[in-house]
Amino acid sequence: MTSVVDILNSLWIDSGFSALLTDWRSLVMIVVACVLLYLGIVKKFEPLLLVGIAFGTLLTNLPGAGLYHPELWDGIIDGTKDYGDVLRDGGLLDILYIGVKAGVYPSLIFLGVGAMTDFGPLLSNPKSLLLGSAAQLGVYCAFILAVVLGFTGPEAASIGIIGGADGPTAIFLTTRLAPHLLGAIAIAAYSYMALIPLIQPPIMRALTTKKERETKMEQLRPVSKTEKIVFPIVVSIFCILLLPDTAPLIGCLMLGNLFRECGVVDRLSDTAQNALMNIVTIFLSTSVGATTVASRFLTLDTLKIVALGLLAFCFSTVGGVLLGKIMYKFTGGKINPLIGSAGVSAVPMAARVSQVEGQKANPSNFLLMHAMGPNVAGVIGSAVAAGFLLALFS
């Protein structure tokens, strides 16, 4: 009889339920994971990534599951452990996380993004690049505010890049500069990207007049196939020579785009856009979610990051729209300032917001293709901003 009680007692002690009762923080994180799953599944907030991130959060916070070991990664950072230790002692999510840590997944996601992106609107209106630059304002505003709030330089840089509204870039930079903040930064970045249709319109309306919003833009010139093929090659050479730290991101983005445009590797383009992108998204989202271990995620810093992320998005929108207004004045009213907000990357959601706001002001307005220029310029702009911060702090 005693032995049965002992066995039951031992089973209870070994079970995750017992551990849950001893550490309430895991329970809180399970609730957080369920809220994120609700937002992804019911509210459709960036579901392709948020569902995976949320489930990774859930798995990593189930006591006893042993899928992710933050102490192993601490060892990698301080040099007492290597990837061999991770492969030997790590759980499933530890092994998947190697791809994040090595910067493989964000780069492969960029390969798919490149294969899906048409740079035609940017090539037909190269001034869009200016709007893509101005919309990086939020990166640096959030960086300064993060320093004010007491974050170190590398941490502040990782928080600032949320303003680039580009998930893979944020993950890429954070894994190199402040891996302990990865979970909070990734969740903030993807959540705010999903909230762009709510965050941007009030700022866009507050900063522009009705007359400016009603501006109809001239039709874009057609871009030849040769121009589209030469573009990724030129951008790779130029950007990587200028900021070598951008090589993994810009290199993969432009390789994907070359697959798309050259017309002789349709199979590769299709794989990069679909199968590869989907596989990497699963690995990236679950392993990033796994970093949200209760003891490290439930801190005041997470709340600060969430607040700074929102400010970063707002400042980036302000930067894009303000430069749009300046360009409106300089071109004699030929550029609708609303397309400036699309410079925050978040392809194509930010461009859609410009289109919707433009049509609200003038139902015959079609800004989508015009906004795609700054939108894809923002992807390049945020990669350049990340390259600069990486060069500064790594």
Which one among 115, 165, 368, 371 touches another protein, defined by CB under 8 A?
368
Q: Is 133 near another protein (CB under 8 A)?
A: yes
In the shown chain, the binding pattern of residues 61 to 100 toward another protein, with x for contact by CB under 8 A and - for none, equals ----------------------------------------
Q: Is 293 near another protein (CB under 8 A)?
A: no
d(CA 38, CA 135) in angstroms, rounded, equals 31
Q: What is the DSSP letter of 43?
A: S
Which one among 45, 151, 190, 328 touches another protein, defined by CB under 8 A?
151
R_g of the chain computed on alpha carbons: 22
**Angle 101-103-106 (CA atoms, 0-180°, nearest 5)?**
120
Which one among 107, 136, 269, 302 touches another protein, defined by CB under 8 A?
136
Nearer of residues 130 and 294 to another protein, judged by Cβ: 130
DSSP labels, 106-150: HHHHHHHHHHH---HHHHH-TTHHHHHHHTTHHHHHHHHHHHHTT
Which one among 96, 272, 377, 379 touches another protein, defined by CB under 8 A?
377
In the shown chain, the binding pattern of residues 211 to 250 toward another protein, with x for contact by CB under 8 A and - for none, equals -----------xxx-xx--xx--xx--xx--xx-------
Least CB distance from residue 150 to another protein, whole Å? Answer: 4
d(CA 143, CA 162) in angstroms, rounded, equals 10
Angle formed by the axes of helices 167-177 and 104-116, to 10°? 160
In the shown chain, the binding pattern of residues 317 to 356 toward another protein, with x for contact by CB under 8 A and - for none, equals ----------------------------------------
Exposed/middle/buried for 219, CB within 10 Å: 0-12, 13-18, 19+?
Answer: exposed
Nearer of residues 286 and 345 to another protein, judged by Cβ: 345
Q: Which residues contact 374 (CB under 8 A, 6 or more apart)?
A: 128, 129, 131, 132, 135, 320, 339, 340, 342, 343, 351
Q: Is 147 near another protein (CB under 8 A)?
A: yes
Tokens of 345: 């990357």
Which one among 87, 102, 148, 198 touches another protein, defined by CB under 8 A?
148
* Binding residues vs another protein (CB under 8 A): 116-118, 122-123, 126-127, 129-130, 132-134, 136-137, 139-141, 143-144, 147-153, 156, 222-224, 226-227, 230-231, 234-235, 238-239, 242-243, 368-369, 372, 377, 380-381, 384-385, 388-389, 392
